[in-house]
Amino acid sequence: MEIISPKQQNRKPTIEARNIYVGLLLIGMGICWMLYNFGHIGPRVFDMLFSWQMLTIVLGGYLLVLRRWAAGGVVTALGVVFLLSRFFAICIPLDKVALPFIVIGIGLIFLFTSKR
């Protein structure tokens, strides 16, 4: 007879969701890269798709898939803000806006993340 703890029961759907997320992400990256190589995506769009801002969004999405809502939401929001600022050529001063925004985001993570 096998004893299954509650932590083990919730682990399988999370692993499957993680595998689906990573698999779809890699397929999407490959398709975008191929479209760029054949000239269907411009260099500006390609540079945005493969940037540190998009990496931040992908990391936030991964945290959301793992059901870490607060951390995933804050990291994704940070990535979206920086990506949009790059897309629309808006200068966000790191010392005046970005760092306080990051500190606020970390504070939100501590507020909404509960220990179980």
Which value, in Å, is the radius of gyration of the alpha carbons in the chain? 18
Taking only the tens place, the pLDDT of each residue in 36-50 is: 999 999 998 899 899
In the chain, where are the structural domains located? 42-116
Taking only the tens place, the pLDDT of each residue in 42-96 is: 998 899 899 999 999 999 999 888 888 888 888 898 888 888 888 888 887 767 7
